[in-house]
Structure 1
Amino acid sequence: MKMKKLIAALSMVSMLAVAVTGCGSSKDTSADASSDANADTKTEQSGSEWDSSNDITIVSREDGSGTRGAFIELFGIEEKNGDEKIDMTTEEAQITNSTSVMLTTVADNEYAIGYVSLGSLDDSVKAVKIDGAEATAENVKSGTYKVSRPFNIAVKEGLDNEVAKDFINFIMSEEGQSVVEENHYIAIDDVKPFEGTSPSGKAVIGGSSSVSPVMEKLIEAYNKLNPGAELELQTTDSTTGMTSAVDGSYDIGMASRELKDTELSEGLQATVIATDGIAVIMNKNSSVDNLSSEQVKSIYTGEALTWDEVIE
């Protein structure tokens, strides 16, 4: 009997020992799982951080774009070969054919860099400082932000379209220039109140996609004063704007740059309707907030390939 009791006691002790060991294993497994979960969270957080070792995605505009022409000139991304200027933009650059596509492309890529008209800038991307100056209309006007260019319209000498002429008078009036200023561009000084003649008929305006947004606002404002006029806006590029003004396809051509000597020699008369900055843009997740002019040049000529080559 005593032996049976001893065996039973020993069995009980063994069962308790196993139970205690099992509880200990369960506790350790739970702690390990918690530790692994924390590690995974840290890995995910680390993965979401902007990494300067990544390649730079360079985004540029198409040939013929006035914004591209002004950009490469202002940042020295061109070389002179006699009277010819050679665009040195790297062949690795992605090419976009409009301001809206440029904004979307940069907004969708954390390591992208691009450029747009300051007046077209929206909150889908961020504009970086250039040489320490913020890209604002006030800084363009004061000369602190030096990356700027004129917005031009051009007509063929001897223009006889009364609607086009009246519309140009509106653009260059106090009322027209207030529209320019309201849309974050630099207005022309010393303008007078509009004195229109309210002609009826149609005029075609076309060219630069950078000038197009403010031109659309100018057309809306003019139509309120002269509903009998039909103004058709075609958004293409600066070069097309000038060639189409020469051949008569457009009554008014738009260019987001100075006119070339060859264009002026073909009988075009240019008028500056506003001054615009060019904003260098990056994805909002980027850690880069300030670039020098030389850094921008090194990126667009392909000298710098990764972000840590630029910012470190």
Structure 2
Amino acid sequence: MKKTSTKLLSVLAAGVIMASAFAGCGGNSSSTASGDNSSNAGSSNTSAFDTSKSLSVITREQGSGTRDAFVELTGVLVKDGDTKKDTTRTDAVTVNGTEAVITNVKGNDAAIGYISLGSLNDSVKALKVEDVDATAENVKSGEYKISRPFNIAYKGDLSGVAKDFVDYILSSDGQAVISKEGYVSVSENAAYAGTKPEGKITVAGSSSVSPVMEKLIEAYKQINTKAEIELQTSDSSAGMQSALEGTCDIGMASRELKDTETALTSTTIAKDGIAVIVNTNNTTENLTMDQVKAIYTGEAKVWSDITK
């Protein structure tokens, strides 16, 4: 009887130990799951977007070629005969340059802006427009509707380094640089076979064209080490004015030339999309052209106005 009792106690003790062990495992498993759920909840909270927030609309400065093209293509620019009126909402935050737009959108989850497609990075999110992704391929095919030309312009005839540099840009070598940087090439010319002259020129204008122009200058100077090219970044209107005044050899514009600039000779060097961007926390994925217009004219006040 004593042996049986001792054996029974040993079995019971072992059972208690095993139950405790299972309880411990269950506790750890529950804790881990709880931790995962907490983490997931946190992630969900981070990605959740409050559509009752007021739209924080970011636009470019007057004179920006990107703004000129954007308002015209989206219908924010109202035309009445020869009269044109930019109806961008009065409470829009106006900033100078592409990077300033990205910075503002990145730092505000209720913000929306627009930038050159070639300047897009992972710090912000590009929206589809009319169910079409903002990509170079869709710009080239014409499916993505918010696109514009990158133009260079000059007064009179080009010579020396200026002419040779333009020949390089339009050659297959220069167009390869443009494609590599995420823009759409426009020329099917042969490879560069220039004279590589010595000299200095100045290229000035659009902050949207400037990034790809910088890459073109770098590539050209590797071929023609005798050339010196100064790049001055401002906006399209300033670039065209500098070309007209002769204070730069080549002006840059991220739009078509205006009637007041027709004394210049213009050449399209690339095509570019204008990406409509939002904060990465914003759950919006697609807008129609009418919704983009409503946002920028002030018809839409809060995000729920366009996410219904």
Query: TM class, shorter-chain normalised?
Result: 0.7 to 0.9
1:190, CA displacement in angstroms? 2.1
Q: Counterparts of 1:133 and 1:238 in 2: how far apart (Å)? A: 27
1:79, CA displacement in angstroms? 1.1
1:159, CA displacement in angstroms? 3.4
1:42, CA displacement in angstroms? 7.4
Which sections of structure 1, spanning at least 5 residues, go unmatched? 1-37
The change in CA–CA distance for 1:46 and 1:152 in structure 2 (over 3 A counts) is closer
Q: 2:185–2:269: 8 Å Cα contact kept in structure 1?
A: yes
Which sections of structure 2, spanning at least 5 residues, go unmatched? 1-36
Q: Counterparts of 2:190 and 2:239 in 1: how far apart (Å)? A: 27
Which residue is 1:197 aligned to?
195
1:231, CA displacement in angstroms? 0.2
1:209, CA displacement in angstroms? 0.3
Paired residues for 1:168-247 under 5 Å: 168-247=166-245
Q: Counterparts of 2:301 and 2:185 in 1: how far apart (Å)? A: 38
The change in CA–CA distance for 1:269 and 1:48 in structure 2 (over 3 A counts) is closer
Which residue is 2:101 aligned to?
102
Q: Counterparts of 2:106 and 2:145 in 1: how far apart (Å)? A: 24
Q: Counterparts of 2:132 and 2:302 in 1: how far apart (Å)? A: 24
Q: 2:127–2:133: 8 Å Cα contact kept in structure 1?
A: yes
Which residue is 1:307 aligned to?
303
1:158, CA displacement in angstroms? 2.8
DSSP-derived class of the 1:63 partner = coil
Paired residues for 1:7-46 under 5 Å: none
1:146, CA displacement in angstroms? 1.3
Do residues 91 (structure 1) and 90 (structure 2) align? yes
Which residue is 2:137 aligned to?
138
Runs of 4+ in 1 over 6 A off after TM superposition: 41-45
DSSP-derived class of the 2:177 partner = helix
Which residue is 1:128 aligned to?
127
DSSP-derived class of the 1:119 partner = helix
Q: Counterparts of 2:268 and 2:79 in 1: how far apart (Å)? A: 26
* Counterpart amino acid of residue 124 in structure 1: S
DSSP-derived class of the 1:95 partner = strand
1:262, CA displacement in angstroms? 1.4
The change in CA–CA distance for 1:174 and 1:84 in structure 2 (over 3 A counts) is same
Do residues 71 (structure 1) and 70 (structure 2) align? yes
1:45, CA displacement in angstroms? 6.7
1:50, CA displacement in angstroms? 1.2
Task: Give aligned-pair identity as a percent.
Answer: 54
| Stretch of structure 1 that moved more, 80-89 or 224-233 | 80-89
DSSP-derived class of the 1:116 partner = strand
Q: 2:172–2:187: 8 Å Cα contact kept in structure 1?
A: no
Which residue is 1:294 aligned to?
290
Q: Highest Rg: 1 or 2?
A: 1
Q: Counterparts of 2:123 and 2:214 in 1: how far apart (Å)? A: 21
Q: 2:184–2:270: 8 Å Cα contact kept in structure 1?
A: yes
* Counterpart amino acid of residue 49 in structure 1: A
- CA deviation profile, 1:197-230 (whole Å, cap 9, x unmatched): 1111100001000000000000000000011110
Q: TM-score, normalised by structure 2?
A: 0.85
Q: Counterparts of 2:215 and 2:43 in 1: how far apart (Å)? A: 45
Do residues 51 (structure 1) and 47 (structure 2) align? no
Q: TM-score, normalised by structure 1?
A: 0.84
1:47, CA displacement in angstroms? 8.0
Report the number of matched residues.
271
Which residue is 1:152 aligned to?
151
1:81, CA displacement in angstroms? 3.4
Q: Counterparts of 2:73 and 2:267 in 1: how far apart (Å)? A: 21
Which residue is 2:16 aligned to?
none
Q: Counterparts of 2:43 and 2:171 in 1: how far apart (Å)? A: 57
Q: Counterparts of 1:150 and 1:306 in 2: how far apart (Å)? A: 32
Q: Counterparts of 1:106 and 1:229 in 2: how far apart (Å)? A: 39
1:189, CA displacement in angstroms? 3.5
DSSP-derived class of the 1:110 partner = coil
DSSP-derived class of the 1:179 partner = helix
* Counterpart amino acid of residue 248 in structure 1: G
The change in CA–CA distance for 1:215 and 1:43 in structure 2 (over 3 A counts) is closer
Q: Counterparts of 1:46 and 1:256 in 2: how far apart (Å)? A: 39
Q: Counterparts of 1:192 and 1:81 in 2: how far apart (Å)? A: 44
Q: Counterparts of 1:58 and 1:242 in 2: how far apart (Å)? A: 28
